[in-house]
Every structure is written in C-alpha cells, then in structure tokens.
Amino acid sequence: MNKRDLQADTFRVEGGRPLAGVLTPSGSKNAALPILAATLLTDQEVILRNLPDIRDIKVMLELLETLGVSISRHGSGTVHICADILNPDSIDIDLCRAIRASILLAGPLVARTGTVRLPPPGGDVIGRRRLDTHFLALENMGAKVSFHGKCLAFSSEGLIGCSMLLDEPSVTATENAMMAACLADGETVLYNAACEPNVQDLARMLLSMGASIDGIGTNRMTINGNGGLLSGTEHTITPDHIEIGSFIGLAACCGGEVRITGVPADIVEPTMNGFSKLGITIRSEGRDILIDGSQELHVRPDKGGSIPTIYDAPWPGFSPDLTSTAVVVATQSFGTSLIFEKMFESRLFFVDKLIAMGAGIIQCDPHRVVVSGPSSLHGTNVISPDIRAGMALLTAALCAEGTSIIGNVHQIERGYQNIVERLGALGAVIERGPYGER
C-alpha cells in the first residue's frame, strides 16, 4: 500500500442515524480464496462468478499470475482462469506474506507439480494460528515438509490416499487436504474435517470438476483420487455467511429495517444461535431476511436466570468471525452476557476501544469478556486491528452518538466489498479520507 493510500486509510462516521433498505451479500471471501487455489488442479479453463471485489481476492489473483496462470476478467465478479502452465519457482514471496490464504496453494501445488516453497502466511494478528494440521495432513499422503531458510518447502513424488484424523477441525487445513486428495492416488478419508459453508462450496466446485467426494457438510469426508488432473468448470461463489451475520448485528443495533436478500437457508439457524441470545429476532421471507432495528434488545438468560454465554464453535456452531460483532450487539442489549472466544487469544483485545466509546465491558482474560448493557456509545477515534474487529468498530460507530474516526480501514475492506457505498445506500454517513490522527 503506497503513501497516498495510507493517508486516506480512515473512515469518518456520523453515528446515531437509523439504517433502512436492502443489502445483497457479496460472494464469500472464505470460499473464493480456496476455490481460486483449486483452479491449479486442472489445466483447463475455469470460470468463476460472484467473486468479491476485495483486497485479499486481488492479492490471490496476483499470486496465481506469478505462477504463470492466465487470468482474464469479464465484468464485475467474473474471471476466466487457465492454469495450463505452472512455474512454482516463480511465486511472489511478498504477496504470499500479504494474506493467510497463500497457505492454500500448498496442497494443489505439491499435488500437481511435486514441489513448492512458501513463506509463512500473513493475515490478521488475532493470536496464534498454527499450521501443523496442514503439514500433518500432507505428510500423511506422502509429502515431505521442511524449512529452508524462512520458507516452508513441500515436496512429493506422488501423493497416496489414506485415512487420517485431523488434529483439529481447521477450515483451511481441511481445504488443503481435500484439494491434495483430489490428485492423490486412491481413497482419502478425513475425520474431524471442518464443514463450514465455504468448505462445502469448495467441495461442490471440485465435484463439478470431476472429483469424487462424499460426506460434504459432515466431519467425515471421503475423496477418491485417480492421480490425474481434474476438468475445467463454471462455478458461482456462495454468498458470504460472515458478511450476512455482520449485517444482521449491524442492522439490529442501528434502527430502521434492513432486508438482506439471497440468504442461504442453511446458514440462518447457526448464525442466529448466538445472536438470538442477545435478543435479535429476524423474519424470513423466502430467501430474504428482515431485521427490525427498532426492536428493543434483551439478553435471554439461561434457565434459572443465569447469565448466558455466547461462544464460538466449529460449524454449525456460532462462527468465531462473528464474536466481535456479538460484543457490540451485547453493548446495546438489556442485561449481562458473557462472550467466550475460544479459538483466538487476541481477537477480543479490541474491546478497550469499545470501553473508550462508553461500553460497559470487563475483560476477564484473553478469551472472555462480560458485557452489561445497554450502553450509550459516543464517537471517538479508534484503529481497526483486523477485519472482523474493524467491522465491529464500524457497527459501534454507526450506533454511537457523534463522530468517530476509524483508522486502518483497509483491514475492513479486506473482507467487506464496497462497504462505504453499500451502507451509504441505507442512510449511513461514512466518508473515506485522511481524517484524524493515525
């Protein structure tokens, strides 16, 4: 990012205005990234639609081009990709460090070319994000993994299918193992596999490329590989369930009525599993959901009047990417709740910024906060530490009284397409520019 971009890397937000209107979710970032990596499993053309126009996707496309992949863009959200020529030695190391999703290249490249070197991936600083599950999965199929200087080296003379128990239900490790298994020789069974909507979307895309996969949507997946490349395909990226959840929380906090269109039915209950405890109710109309922001939010206590816990869990549990937004919703809900972020020990460290805005929050430890609400938030200057905390801070700024300046907003834009324009259409007053101190 150049100096000019950094100077403009702020939002000026005028809070306290009701939001009303229609939001259409973008394509899923977390589905699009592994699907882009999966285009390396074939030397035929792949056409992808509904790609979100965000920074992480642009970086991944640039990464593929450094490998020799041919990419042409056809209007908004549509790309044609052909990986008929691959040179794993030409991969751009700096681009790999820019996004965590670069690790998703390991499985397809070692399966197809037999070798690849990658630096440790970048991404949000939200605590330790171990890669061991990726390494163990590929090693189980016969790959060798080692360190060469500051790079991870993957090599193989041919992957062999096997049964394996993933030591954690890691989303990206499941995706890496699944992609590698498609080109392995024989049957691979993944136990304790992740089954998030983005994993399912990748699996559906691989099926359309000729892969043999059973158990989609469960934690036991079976992939039958024949050692050969897959075929080309056309695929439309699924709507982003994290963006949908973020918008549900935002709409509930900001008044007015918001309609979110094209919502997959299977993501509603898992998403509302956490939000309903904070008093949010929604109305479904076909594939649309409506959120009445004028509803008074009340924390739903556990039986006997105990303080409820909203905690994240692997799908179909409440997504860890929505816990930051849940904290903000809790500040606007009558009652006391405990937010328990189990996965990442630094994700809740943004709550000091909410406290500065007037929130009643006690941080018990890196993983837990107690929130008492409702709080009348007021505008202030804050810095976005990561994608999801940044969106949570933007939600807080929109429901606060007065003006807030949010810095480091390229983090928000890594995960939310055209967020200023889309929320502006609902009545939000957000300006992007060089405001306040950085």
Of 380, 305, 367, 375, the residue nearest 340 (C-alpha): 367
Q: Closest Cα partner for 430 from 422, 438, 253?
A: 422
Q: What pLDDT is attached to residue 128?
A: 44
The pLDDT averaged over each successive group of 10 residues in the chain (438 residues) is: 54 95 96 97 97 93 95 93 91 85 93 89 50 91 86 90 95 96 97 97 98 97 94 97 97 93 94 95 95 93 92 94 97 97 84 96 94 96 92 96 94 92 96 68
Residue among 27, 24, 418 at smallest CA distance from 236: 27
Correct CATH for 29-236 of 3.40.50.450, 3.50.50.60, 3.65.10.10, 3.40.50.10470:
3.65.10.10
Alpha helices (H) in 197-341, listed in sequence order: 197-208, 241-253, 268-275, 323-331
- Position 8 scores a pLDDT of 60
- CATH superfamily for 3-26+239-432 is Enolpyruvate transferase domain (3.65.10.10)
Q: Is the Cβ–Cβ distance between 299 and 337 less than 8 Å?
A: yes
Residue 438 DSSP SS3: coil
> Distance between CA 178 and CA 436 in Å, rounded?
46
Closest of 237, 239, 202, 230 to residue 217, by C-alpha? 202
Known catalytic membership, residue 352: no
pLDDT value of residue 126: 37
What are the residue ranges spanned by the domains of the chain? 3-26+239-432, 29-236
pLDDT of residue 100: 82
0.85 cut: is pTM over it?
yes
Q: How many residues does the chain have?
A: 438
Exposure letters 20-55 (e unless 16+ CB within 10 A, then b): bbebebbbbbbbbbbbbbbbbbbeebbbbebbbebb
- What are 168's two structure tokens? 């954690």
| 177 within 8 A of 188, measured Cβ to Cβ | yes
CATH topology match: 3-26+239-432 vs 29-236 = yes
Looking at residue 264, its pLDDT comes to 94
- At 66 the pLDDT is 94
Q: What is the pLDDT of residue 262?
A: 95
Angstrom distance (rounded) from CA 284 to CA 88: 47
Q: What is the pLDDT of residue 5?
A: 45
* The one catalytic residue among 9, 56, 124, 240: 124
Burial letters for 365-380: b for 16+ Cβ neighbours within 10 Å, e otherwise? eebbbebbbbbebebb
